[in-house]
Amino acid sequence: MVAPYISQQPIDDFGLVFSELKYSASLAATTDTTLTIPAKAARYKAIIKVENNGLVWVASNATAAVPVGTTFVATTSELITDAKSLCREVKKGEVLHFITSTAGTDVSVVLYALGTNN
User: pLDDT per residue over 41-83, tens digit each?
Assistant: 999 999 999 988 889 999 999 999 998 889 999 999 999 987 6
Contact indicator for 98, 51 with CB cutoff of 8 Å: no
Q: Does residue 105 sit within a domain?
A: yes
Instruction: Tell me the pTM.
Output: 0.85
CB 64 within 8 Å of CB 77: yes
In a domain, 8, yes or no: no
Greatest Cα-to-Cα distance within the chain, rounded to the nearest angstrom? 47
**Residues contacting 67, CB < 8 A, separation 6+:** 57, 73, 75
Higher pLDDT, 2 or 5: 2
**Residue-range definition of the domain harbouring residue 75:** 26-114
13 in a structural domain: no
pLDDT given for residue 10 in this prediction: 54
Which is more confidently placed, 95 or 5? 95
In this predicted structure, what is the pLDDT of residue 18? 86
The pLDDT-based confidence of 14 (bands split at 50, 70, 90) is low
Within-domain flag for 14: no
For residue 89, give the CATH number of its domain. Answer: 2.60.120
Average pLDDT, the chain: 87
- 11 found inside a domain: no
Structurally, how many domains does the chain consist of? 1
